[in-house]
Amino acid sequence: MVALSPLLNVMVSASRKAARGLARDFGEVENLQVSVKGPSDFVSTADHKAERTLQQELQKARPRFGFLMEEGGEIVGEDSANRWIIDPLDGTTNFLHGIPHFAISIALERDGQIVAGVIHNPITDELYFAERGQGAFLIAPYTERRLRVSARSQLDLAVIGTGIPHRGRGDHERYTGQLSRVMAQVAGVRRMGAASLDLAYVAAGRFDAYWEEGLQPWDMAAGLLLVTEAGGVAMATDGSQDAMRTGSPLASNRKLQGPMTRLLRGA
């Protein structure tokens, strides 16, 4: 049994409580009330309920911490050094179309550094978590294990995750240039629709690398920590180290970092 620290216990407990509500709502997805926040950017009642649950549970355990949330925005806490970064439903479009690939993502930022992260798929009950300096782990039905990034060193054997900009989002011409270069060199490219899980898949060795542009901190905060704690590299697609600032992460094992960076920058 993987032992959880007091901090991770708080995060996992909050995630599991919110996950139960999302799983119930997923079963009733056709009856959800849906509002439109922007082009192809839907917010369901389930999204808001999950965020309220997470906020309440985390605030109860750490009342002085602040929050940065996808729906609720930023709440400055009495303890200015610590804040929770939350995406209550990453993969909303999948959720609303009945595709069981979405996640809750919770990260704790301390003095500008991500120190703990949890990513949880409520339908598969796969729960990924990491704490800085302590490694990354997966708890799922019938398995518990430490996470390690893949060891593949050749692009022609690699499967790469990505996010495709859709209507109203991103630079389509720039992305198609990147994709054209990548897909000509690799064994496969996958677009799954939930950035947090894409990063968790890199940490678990399922994807050999992943890139995307135009993300927000709550999309990737927990996942970037998972990748580095699993022995991988998380940087920005422009070659800089601060993916959180640029919103454009490139995550991979160390052997593919150079080749992937060259492909993307060459586009």
Mean pLDDT by 10 residues, the chain (267 residues): 90 98 85 59 80 97 96 93 97 90 98 97 98 97 96 97 84 90 97 98 98 96 98 92 92 97 89
What is the residue whose two structure tokens read 């630079």?
A: 171
User: Are residues 16 and 127 located together in one domain of the fold?
Assistant: yes
Residue 239 CB partners (closer than 8 Å, separation 6+): 261, 265
220 in a structural domain: yes
Q: Which domain holds residue 214?
A: 155-266
Angstrom distance (rounded) from CA 207 to CA 113: 25
167 in a domain, yes or no? yes
Residue 59 tokens read as: 């605030």
Of 20, 11, 21, the C-alpha closest to 60 is 11
**What's phi and psi for 151, nearest 5 deg?**
-105, 5
Which residue in the block uniquely carries the two structure tokens 């990737």? Answer: 220
Task: Specify the 3-state DSSP secondary structure of 145.
Answer: strand
Residue with tokens 């799922």: 140
pLDDT for the residue 169? 73
Nearest CA-CA partner of 83 in 103, 104, 102, 55 = 55
Quick one: tokens of 144?
């518990």
Final residue belonging to a domain, choices 94, 114, 146: 146
Q: Is the pTM of this model over 0.85?
A: yes
Residues 78 and 208 in one domain: no
Check whether residue 163 and residue 227 sit in a common domain. Answer: yes
Give domain status of residue 1, yes or no.
no
Q: Are residues 123 and 198 in the same domain?
A: no
CATH number of the domain enclosing 71: 3.30.540.10
Specify whether 14 is located in the same domain as 142. Answer: yes
Task: Let me know if residue 209 belongs to a domain.
Answer: yes
CATH of the domain at 183: 3.40.190.80
Burial of 159 (0-12, 13-18, 19+ CB in 10 A): middle
Q: How many CB atoms lie within 10 A of CB 214?
A: 14
Same domain, yes or no, for 125 and 180? no
Same domain, 138 and 169: no
Residue 124 belongs to a domain: yes
Domain count of the chain?
Answer: 2
Based on the domain organization, do 162 and 136 belong to the same domain? no
Same domain, 33 and 111: yes
Instruction: Check whether residue 216 and residue 139 sit in a common domain.
Output: no
What's the burial of 258, exposed, middle or buried (CB within 10 Å: 0-12/13-18/19+)?
A: exposed
What is the side-by-side strand order in the sheet with 188-191?
188-191, 159-162, 209-211, 249-252, 233-236
Same domain, 159 and 230: yes
Domain boundary residue, one of 105, 129, 146 = 146
Which of 119, 146, 173 is the C-terminal boundary of a domain? Answer: 146
Residue 189, strand partner residues:
160
Query: In this structure, what DSSP letter does residue 98 have?
Result: T
pLDDT confidence of residue 173: 87
Residue 2 has a pLDDT of 78
Q: Is residue 113 domain-shared with residue 215, that is, in the same domain? A: no
CB 243 within 8 A of CB 236: yes
